[in-house]
Structure 1
Amino acid sequence: MRGTKKNELTTISYGADTVNIDGPPQDEKRSQKALIAEAQIGFADEKELGPRAALKAYPNAVLWSLAFAACVIMEGYDTALLGSFYAYPAFQIRFGRFVGVTPSTPSGYQLTAAWQAGMGQAGGVGSFFGAALNGYMVPRWGQRRVVIGSLIVLIIGIFFPFFASNLIVLTVGELICGFPWGILTTCATSYASEVLPTSLRVYLTSFTNMCFIIGQLIAAGILKGLSNHINPWAYRIPFAIQWVWPCFLIPLVYFAPESPWYLVRKGHLDDAEKSLRRFQNPKANINPTNTLAAIIHTDNFEKTHEVGTTYLDCFKGAELRRTEIACMVLTGQILCGINFAYNSSYFFENVGVGTSTTYSLNLGGTFLALFGCFVNWFALMPYIGRRTIYVWGMAVMTVILIVIGILNVWTHHKRIAMTQAVLTLAWTLIFQFSAGQLGWALPAEMGSTRLRQKTICIARNANGVVGIVAGVLQQYFMNPQAWNLKGYVGFVWGGTCFLMFLWAFFRLPETWNRSYQELDILFAKRIPARKFASTEVDLFEDQEIGLDFREAPADLG
């Protein structure tokens, strides 16, 4: 039986048990029944919140998640920058070699495929080590301090490409910048997944992808404006703009609340409740004490099922399946052809589209990607399950890539080349409807809460390793001085995209509208992927799990 409004409760009565919930939770040892009762209310509150109600109840959580996600803009910006520089006249003249003026090389200069591959993947190598180390740093120091440290390292790293006098220095700079990028992307995703209720979780975790697009959009606009200049400032100015973000992000992140899940695992329950109060609207009918109890209950459930906290634990028991899914959905972004479509400027140039048209198409494609994100947010994800969107997105992208490959037979006709370019833009739109957004959202939902950070880091690194291999191959596929496949590369990525469609159809479970503990139970019971959506879950069946608030778990990192 409950008293007045949930956020005004001072006692809760359950039969013979009356438990005072005034003051900090660690002041007294709560009964097992009281904790479960509070957790039941917390889970029910979260289930009842639709997106609009959740937005009103957790406005500050949304704003702080947006602040963390904004750190990802820089990686999207630099990725688009470097990939587009390969077709950029000023950059080609400064760092390339003269190969003669042709329709594919209008400036007369061209970087070798080896340098394109090495420089283009240097950031991915740095990102791999950054993400791997992040799995140790965040459980030890928390999201805030790790993100601030990463932004400081990024400020230092930008000096290298800005002052680079040769390709070696430029590549080293990309390697250094990649290290904090690996940290910032995983932190942005995990932070949003931990501070938001279920109905908002997918929007803010997938916002990481939108931040990539925002960065790419900024880069495309700047490159379009400077594309006709051939002096060194045409590529130095775009590098220098990256210094803008850390200047306002560092103080913003400094004042952000820490994740309550991290604080619970560290045993700082009073701080966890204070953090929840900063995320939640005090006028909303939500009691942070109940939310905290739900977090503790979920953490205890995972401990009783022997969910550890090391990287090795991600590959044991039910966690192995969860890790596989997280890795595959994020790696699917690479295997469905992102290296081809997101280096579209270089592809457009190679099939004979002019420089000015190339960068106009590149800018238009980025706007189209942003439009696709909003369509997915408002027209697809509120009504269609994650699994359905991901699976059929892969199917449509497969068809588009195969058609691009077929059309390459007649690519010497200008209209056919433009058709291939338009199909590449269509691929971009479908990608943002599906794998682009959900590739970041699903890994944050797959791992158990105690292993979430490490699961995301492993998925990010799986994506990185496959991305490095794919990125190297892509440069050889497209470079006129190497394999020069042009549109035939659509057959390559169409084949890998089809394999991803098959995997997703048989292995990807539905996580739509499921709490973290519901997912824990479904994976623990080894429910088949195609039955996740229809299986009913009782969160408290045979689970008498309590916690001594004065003996909360110490550092589990």
Structure 2
Amino acid sequence: MRRTSAVNPDFGGLAADSKEATNYETTMAIGTAFKLYRKGVMWSLLMSTAIIMEGYDTILLGNFYGLPAFSAKFGNEYDATATPPGPTVGAPWRAGLSNGAQIGEILGLMATGIIQDRYGYKKTIGGAMTAIVGLLFILFFAQDLPMLLVGEILCGLCWGVFQTITTAYASEVTPVVLRPYLTTYVNLCWVIGQLIASGVLRGMLSEGSSQWGWRIPYALQWIWPVPIIIGCILAPESPWWLVRHGRYVDAKRALLRLTDPSADPNFNPDQTIAMMEHTNEIEKEISSGTSYFDCFKGTDLRRTEIVCITWLVQTLCGSTFMGYSTVFYEQAGLKASYAFDMSIGQFGLGVLGTISSWFAMTWFGRRTLYLYGSSFLCVLLLIIGCLGTRQDEAAADWAIGSMLLIFTFVYDFTVGPVCYSLVAELSSTRLKAKTIVLSRNLYNIGGIIVNVITNYQLTPTAWDWRAYSGFFWAGTCFLCVIWVFFRLPEPKNRTYGELDLLFEAKIPARKFKSTKVDIVSQNLTQSVLNAELMEA
């Protein structure tokens, strides 16, 4: 029999206060939550804006290959099938450039888990944002492909920081009812960055083969750092991080900076801090360490597996088509101007899909959207592959373009945004940053493999699969559907403490939604038994 807390509820009423705060958070109306935490929402939105930079650059590089100015400067092979024929960046260098950024992100991610745990969220984001101001000069003044590769690797170090910190911070500065919105906003920032990049590249077509056609898009990335750095200086630290470091007075002060207590007289900051402390003690009892190795011990092993594969699904479900959309449209036979117009419309639908997902998660939950979303994506990929077999190429080209538009909307309505909510909620609070780092690194490793395959699939001088690639990714997406069905639990309306007990009880993924937990139970084993017996 193990205690759920190192602090006995009879001394100080920690568990009782935790229960009150838990009930308050899980029953809070969304409107009340926005009013109470409106300052926390604004700080979260500002921090997450850093992701726009990464979304912008990710789509920038993939679509540069369809930009005449970029091909004229960096092309190292001759494409006789292009209209008109001309230089192009070969598949090996395309894969190298894309994977260079991924390698930098992997290194940056691993460092982030350690730096964030020691210095906090705001200092880590601010430091990375300051560094990237200087590193962007390498991309702007690139003279050849090797220099461009170095710039991508070094900038990737900073992008790796943004990938995890923003999601973790968003999940810790708002209550349960707001977490799905603020964590999925990270995906919206990705799509906004992609939309801006597509619009900028469309405008650069008028530059022809001028060097400014590719330099200006890189230069525009200097817009973001200054306001975000100022925000990092002024923003409050996560109260959860402060509690984990035993700084309870500072945690309460930070919580008050994130909230407006006058918005709801029922809000009690002391009880909220008690809930954080109680959850922290539960996790210390379950897993005392906070190192990367602890992510693979006990119940945290299952949580790490779920979070890691959840993020890997994003890259295995065929989303690679979106990152290379302009090239794919051109390979399908569309003119460059039409290809970029389609990309702009594609990511505009992505914005609409992400916003729509906020309402869908309220009704259906995360697991349902992830399962049905990945299933629908699998069907769309099969359709794209089948369209590649049609003899009427002109009609098939536009049909494939239409399928990619639908694919983008479905992805950004389900798998894209919901992933961020899941990885933030299903990891324990003490190991959150490190678990997200590991999951994002698995995503990046998968992305390296996917980038190599995709570049060879879509490059005319390599495999030249074109739309037939849809069959390949439909297969990987189907495997993702199977995993989601059997392994992904539903965290909707669960506090971190409740999720801790559900995982400790080894409740099957498909029963998470219907199982009830008494968070106040002094005895963890008894709490587990209650969880199993109170199944609805």
Q: What is the CA–CA distance in structure 1 between the aligned matches of 2:128 and 2:91, rounded to whole Å?
A: 31
- Work out which of the residue numbers 166, 180, 184 in structure 2 matches 1:206: 184
CA distance in 1, matches of 2:291, 2:199: 43
Q: Which residue of 2 aligns with 1:282?
A: 261
Deviation at 1:31, TM superposition (A): 5.7
Q: Structure 1 residues 386-395 or 307-316, which shifts more? A: 307-316
Paired with 2:96 and 2:477, the residues of 1 have a C-alpha distance of 25
Judging changes above 3 Å, is the alpha-carbon distance between structure 1 residues 524 and 89 closer, same or farther for their aligned structure 2 residues? same
2:317 is equivalent to residue 339 of structure 1: no
- 1:284-433 matches, within 5 Å, as 284-285=264-265, 286-378=267-359, 380-410=360-390, 413-433=393-413
Q: Matched residues in 1 for 2:310 and 2:84: separation?
A: 39
CA displacement at 1:511 relative to structure 2: 0.6
**Match status 1:518 vs 2:495:** no
Amino acid at match of 1:91: F
Distance 1:516 1:411 in 2: 55
Residues 442 and 43 of structure 1, relative CA distance in 2, 3 Å threshold: same
CA distance in 1, matches of 2:288, 2:386: 49
Q: Which residue of 2 aligns with 1:13?
A: none
CA distance in 1, matches of 2:188, 2:372: 21
Q: Distance in 2 between matches of 1:221 and 1:435?
A: 24
Structure 2 residue 508 is the aligned partner of structure 1 residue 534:
no
Of 44-53 and 383-392, deviating more is 44-53
* 3-state DSSP of counterpart to 1:99: strand
**2:129 is matched with which residue?**
151
Quote how far apart the aligned CAs of 1:342 are.
2.1
What fraction of aligned residue pairs are identical, expressed as a percent? 41
Partner of residue 480, structure 1:
460
For 1:454, the equivalent position in structure 2 comes to 434
Give TM-score scaled by structure 1 length.
Answer: 0.90
Distance 2:149 2:317 in 1: 27
Aligned match for 1:61, one of 40, 48, 51: 40
Correspondent of 2:24 among 38, 45, 68? 45
Unaligned stretches of 5+ residues in structure 1? 1-28, 545-557
CA distance in 2 between partners of 1:268 and 1:100 (Å): 61
Q: Distance in 2 between matches of 1:140 and 1:97?
A: 45
- Using the TM superposition, give the Cα deviation of residue 108 of structure 1 relative to its aligned residue in structure 2, in angstroms: 1.3
Q: Distance in 2 between matches of 1:412 and 1:340?
A: 22
In 1: Cα distance, 2:76 partner to 2:243 partner: 57
Q: State the shift of 1:228 in Å.
A: 2.9
**TM-score of the two chains, using structure 2 as the length reference:** 0.94
Tell me the distance in 2 between the aligned counterparts of 1:242 and 1:227: 19
Distance, in Å, in 1 between the alignment partners of 2:416 and 2:288 is: 30
Match of 1:196 among 165, 171, 174: 174
Output the CA distance in 1 between the equivalents of 2:84 and 2:523. 69
Matching residue of 1:73: 52
Is the partner of 2:310 in helix, strand or coil?
helix
Shift, 1:543, TM fit? 4.2
- Report the Cα offset of residue 473 of structure 1: 0.9
Q: CA RMSD in A?
A: 1.5
Of 113, 129, 147 in structure 2, the residue corresponding to residue 169 of structure 1 is: 147
* Pairwise CA distance, 1:402: 0.6
Secondary structure at the counterpart of residue 224 of structure 2:
helix
How far is the alpha carbon of 1:539 from its aligned partner?
A: 0.5
SS in 2 for 1:537: coil
Aligned partner letter, 1:99: Y
CA contact (8 A) 1:335 1:496 kept: yes
Letter in 2 for 1:234: G
Question: Relative to 1, partners in 2 of residues 1:100 and 1:178: Cα closer, same or farther, differing over 3 Å?
Answer: closer
**What residue in structure 2 maps to residue 445 of structure 1?**
425
Structure 1 residue 542 displacement after superposition: 2.9
Structure 2: distance between partners of 1:140 and 1:107: 54
CA contact (8 A) 1:121 1:471 kept: yes
* Matching residue of 2:159: 181
Partner of 1:134: 112
Contact kept? 2:191, 2:351, Cα under 8 Å: yes
Task: State the 1:97 CA deviation.
Answer: 3.5
Question: Using the alignment, how far apart are the partners of 1:280 and 1:157 within structure 2?
Answer: 36
* Structure 1 contact 411–417 (Cα < 8 Å) conserved: no
Matched letter for residue 468 of structure 1: I
Amino acid in structure 1 at the alignment position of 2:42: L
C-alpha distance in 2, partners of 1:520/1:188?
A: 22
Deviations 1:219-257 (A, max 9, x none): 111111111322000110000010110011101111000
Counterpart of 1:366, as a letter, is F
The answer to whether the 8 A contact 1:395-1:501 is kept is yes
Query: Which residue does the alignment assign to 2:471?
Result: 491
Distance in 2, matches of 1:483 and 1:297, equals 56
Decide which of 12, 25, 36 is 2:15's aligned counterpart.
Answer: 36
Note the 1:84-99 alignment, pairs <5 A: 84-97=63-76, 99=78
- Cα distance in 1 for residues equivalent to 2:474 and 2:137: 39
Aligned-partner residue type, residue 311 of structure 2: L
> Distance in 1 between the 2:287 and 2:351 partners?
42
SS of residue in 1 equivalent to 2:388:
helix
Cα pair distance change 1:226/1:411, threshold 3 Å: farther
Secondary structure of the 1:450 match is coil
Contact 1:351 1:411 in 2 (8 A): no
User: What is the CA distance between 1:50 and its match in structure 2?
Assistant: 2.4
User: CA-to-partner distance for each residue in 1:325-383, whole Å, 9 max, x for gaps?
Assistant: 101111101000111232111111111111111000000001010010111112x1111
- 1:252 correspondence with 2:231: yes
| Unaligned segments of structure 2, at least 5 residues | 1-7, 525-536
The answer to whether the 8 A contact 1:65-1:204 is kept is: yes
1:450 and 1:307 map into 2 onto residues whose CA distance is 9
Give the drift of 1:482. Answer: 0.3
Partner of 1:165, secondary structure, is: coil
Deviation at 1:37, TM superposition (A): 2.1
CA contact (8 A) 1:307 1:450 kept: no
Q: Which amino acid aligns with 1:212?
A: W
Paired positions, count = 515
Q: Distance in 2 between matches of 1:411 and 1:500?
A: 31
Q: Is the 8 A contact 1:89 1:228 kept in 2?
A: no
Contact 1:337 1:493 (8 Å CA) reproduced: yes
Paired AA for residue 185 in structure 2: F
Give 3-state SS (helix, strand or coil) of 1:409's partner: coil
| Contact 1:75/1:181 (8 A) holds in 2 | yes
Q: CA deviation at 1:422?
A: 0.7
What secondary structure sits across from 1:109 in the alignment? Answer: strand
**How big is the shift at 1:30?**
9.5
CA, structure 1 residues 307+50, in 2 after alignment: closer, same or farther (shift >3 Å)?
farther
> Deviation of residue 468 (structure 1)?
0.8
Provide the C-alpha distance between the structure 2 equivalents of 1:120 and 1:219, rounded to a whole number of angstroms: 16
Secondary structure of the structure 1 residue equivalent to 2:489: coil
What CA distance in whole angstroms lies between the structure 1 residues aligned with 2:23 and 2:189?
32
